[in-house]
Structure 1
Amino acid sequence: MVFVVRLLILIFLSVAFSGFSQTPVPYKWGEKYGYIDAGTGKVLINPIYDKVYPFSEGRALVYRLGKGSFIDATGSIKIILKYDSALSFTEGYSAVKLAGNWGYMDKLGTLKIPTKFEQAFPFSEGMAVIKKTGKFGYIDKAGKEIILPQFEYALEFSNGLAVIKKNGKSGYINTTGKLVITPIYDKAGNFYNGVAVVSLNNKYGIIDNTGKVSLPVEQDWVSVFNDGLVRVKKGELWGFANTSGLMLIPFIYDWVADFQDGYAKVKKNNKYGYIDKAGTLVIPLDYQWLEDLNADGTLMAVKSGYWGCIGKENEVIAPFKYKVTRPFSEDLAVVTLGGKYGYLDKKGKLAIPFLYDYAYDMVNGWAEVVKAERTLFIDRHGNCVKYCE
C-alpha cells in the first residue's frame, strides 16, 4: 500500500509571488508552516509556525504557540506582537488591533497612531481608510482625520482618487475629500491611467477621471486593465477595448485572456489561438489548448491530446508526442509514457525522465512522486529532497 504524504503549499494571489521571486513564499509541511524560495524550492525559513502570512516590505506576520511576531527574510524576530491582531506593513505602517479597536505601529513596533478606530486599513498614497462611529473616512500618518468619517464604505486612494459609497451608490473623491464623480454607480473600481471600470444595474462600462463615460455602461462584463486593454463581454462573446473605450477587437470570441506583452490567448468553437493588438490571429485557432508565451516567443500547445512546442509563427519547435495528463505548473507538466510518469518543460523537452509510477504537479519548486510504492519529493531538476531513503 502506497504511503501518501501530501505536500500542501499555500499559493497566494499576489504578484509578489509570481514567477521565481527571491521573496520567501509560505508553505505548509505537515501541520506547520514556513517559507521557501519559489524558484528552487529551497527551505529558507523552517516550518515551525502555526500560521503565516506573505512578506510585505521585508516583514511577515507569523504565529507560534499562540504568540504573534513579525520576522524578516532570515526568520529573525523583529517585532513581538503585543496586540490581538495585525495587518501586513504598507508604507511603513501596520494596522494593529487591541481590545476591539484599531491603530497603527511602525516597523520598530512603536504605536504611532492610538488604537481608537472600529476598523483600520493599509496606507496608500499617504492615507489610510478608517472606520469610526459606523462611518468611513481617511487619516494621514500622523493620525489626523484628513477626510472626516462620513461614508458608508471607502477604498484606498489610487492615482489621487478613491472610491466611496453614499446612499448605497459609489463615486469618487480626491485627496482633499472633494466629490469629483457623483455617486451613481452600484460598483466602481480603482483608476488605471486615468480610467476606471464601473457598474450599474449589472452592466459594466468605463469612465475617465472627470466622470465622462468612454465605454457605455451596457456591457455584461469588463475586466481590469492589462497591457493597456480590457476584456469586454457582451452576450456570449468577448472582445477588447482600450483606455479611450474604443472597441479595438470586436465581439467575436467565445473566451479571451488578458493581453501580455502584446499578445492574447483567444478561444472560438473550442479551439485556441493567439492574437496581437491589431486583432490579427498570429497563431491560428487550431489547438485544444495553448500555454502562455515563453519569453522567447515559443509556447506549449495541445493537439490531438499530445503536447508539442510551437513558435509565434506557428512553426513546430518540438513534435507533438507526449500524452497530456494535466496543465503546466511552474513551467513543468506531468506527462506519461509506457505507464511511467515524468515532467516536460516549456520547450517541449523532457526535463525529468519517466521514472515514476505516479507524479503530482510541481508546486513552489517541489513535487510529490510515487516510485516502487514509496512516496518521495523531488525538486524541479528531479533531485530527491524528502523521504529519499
Structure 2
Amino acid sequence: MVQPSKFMRILFLLLAMATYSYSQTTKYQSSSTNDIPQRKRVINLPDWANQYDEVYASDDLFICKKIINMPVIRKTNDTIYFKKGYLTYLHTKEGVRLSRQPYDDISAFSDGFARVVQRNPDHDGRFDFLLEPTRMGLIDRSGHLVIPLMYRDVWHFREGLVYVVDSTYTKGYFVDANNRRVFEKEFSPYHSSNFQNGICHVRLGHQQYNFISHKGEYLIPKVYDFIDLPGDWNAKQVVAKNGKYGLLGEKAELTLKLSYDLIDTSASTHWNGLYKTKLHNKYGYVDVIAGKEVIKPHYQDFIHTPSSKIWAKKNNKWGLLQKNNEFIYPLKADSILSIKDDYSIVQEGTKKGVVDSTGKIVVPVTFDNVSPFYEDVAIVVQDNRIGYVSRSGKTIASPQYISGTYFRNGKATVKTFFRHFTIDKNHTKLEQGFNNIVYVLGIGTMLLLHLVYFFKTRKSYASQEKLFTRKL
C-alpha cells in the first residue's frame, strides 16, 4: 500500500482541524469536584451562551467551552484519528469575550487568577497532539495572560504566589503574579500545594516533605515538630512543638496557643467538623474553621451519635451535649448501651430506657431491659415479663407476657403460660390459641414438680415437728 506523502498528511490534518461538531445534548449540573476553588456548571444559559457546549461560572465570570474533534496522527503508522477536544474562552456574564485566544481549558479563579492550558504538537515537528497538558500559564480577570504559557504545570494562585513546574518536568518553584521567582529553593515536580495561612506543603524528594513560609524558610523542625495537612481550605492547621499542640491561623500566627497535650487529627475522632483535644487526660473539642475552643477539655470520654449531638462523660456520668456546650440530657446515665439513628438506649443504675436525639425520654428509664425499635416499637422487660412501647412513648402493652416477638408487618406474637396471641400495635388480639402440647406438658411438668416438692417438704416438716413434741 502506498503511504501518503508528508505534505498530504499535513494538508489533511489542517482541513480536519477546521471542522468540528457541536454536542446538542449536554446536561447542565453542579460540578462534583471537592477541590477549592471550583467551577460551577451553569444550568440556565443566557441566549448568547447557547453557541457553547459547556459553560461554567467562576468569580462572576463565564468559562465557555466548545467541543471539537481534534485530529491526531499516530506515531506508529502515521494514521489519523480523532479525539474530543475543546476551545475554551473567558466571557463576562453579558457575553463580552475577554480572552484573546482559545485555550484547551481554563480553571476556576483563585485570588483573581485562573490557570490556562494549551496542548501543542509534539516537539519532533509531527502533528501529534498529546493527551496531557503541555503548556500552562495564568490569566487575570480581564483575560490578559500574566504568566506566559511556558510551564508544564501550574497550581492555584494563592496569597500572592503560585507553584509552577518547568518545561522539562524536573523541578518546581514559586513565582509571583509577574512571573518572578520569589526564592531560590526548588522542589519535586510531582507534588506540592498552595499557600494557606502563610505556609505551604512541599515535596523535597522521595518520601521527603516539609512546609515553607513566604520567605522560603523550612518550618520543620526549626519552628514546629508537626504540621497537619487540613482537609478543608478554610481550616486552621494543627501544629505541635515540644509535645504541645495548637492551631495556626492567618499569616502563620497561632490562633490557639500551644497548650494542649493533643489535637487529634484522625478522622475517626472528628465531630461535626470539630477536632478532639486532650489535656491532663481530659477531652474537649476545637473548631478548626473558626480557630477557637468550643468544648473545654473537662470530660472523661465522648461517644458520637449520627445527629449533631454527642454523649459526654464527666464524674462517671453520661449526658447528651450540644455543639454550643449545653446539655439537653443531664449527666446522670451510667452507661450508653446502644446508639441508633436518632435515639440511644441508656442505663441508670440497673434500669434502662430510651432517649432521643433531642434529649427527650421516649421510653422511661424504669425497665430491666429495652430492645431497639423495630417498626417503631420496642420490647421492654420488667420482672421477667415483656411488654411493648411505641417510638412516641405510648405503652402498647404493659409487661405481662412470658415471651414475644418483634413486630413485623404490624403484628407480633406473644405468649402466656397456656395461650398465645397475635396482637397489633393497639394491643388488639387478632388471633389466639393454646400453646402446643409439648409446651403445655413442659409447663405442666414443672408445676407438678413444684407441687410434689411443696407437699414433700410440708410432710417432712410435720414429721419432724411431731417427733420433737414426743420428746418433750
Give the TM-score of the pair, scaled to structure 2: 0.42
Q: How high is the TM-score relative to the length of structure 1?
A: 0.49
- Higher strand proportion, which one? 1
In terms of Rg, which structure is larger? 2
Higher relative contact order (CA 8 A, sep 6+): 1
